[in-house]
Amino acid sequence: MDIKSIMAKLPHRYPLLLVDRVLEFEKDKSIRALKNVTINEPHFMGHFPDHPVMPGVLIVEAMAQVGGILAFHSAPQDQNFLVYFTGIDGVKFRKPVVPGDQLIFELTCLQRRGFLWKFEAKAFVDDKLVCQGQLTASLVSEKDV
Residues annotated as catalytic are 47
* Rounded Cα distance, 96 and 120, in Å: 20
Give the Cα separation of 63 and 85 in Å (integer).
10
Q: Residue 31 is which amino acid?
A: I
Going 8 to 13 to 14 to 16, the CA torsion angle's sign is negative
Name which of 97, 66, 69 is nearest 81 in CA terms.
69
**Strands in the chain per DSSP E:** 21-26, 30-36, 81-93, 102-113, 116-125, 128-141
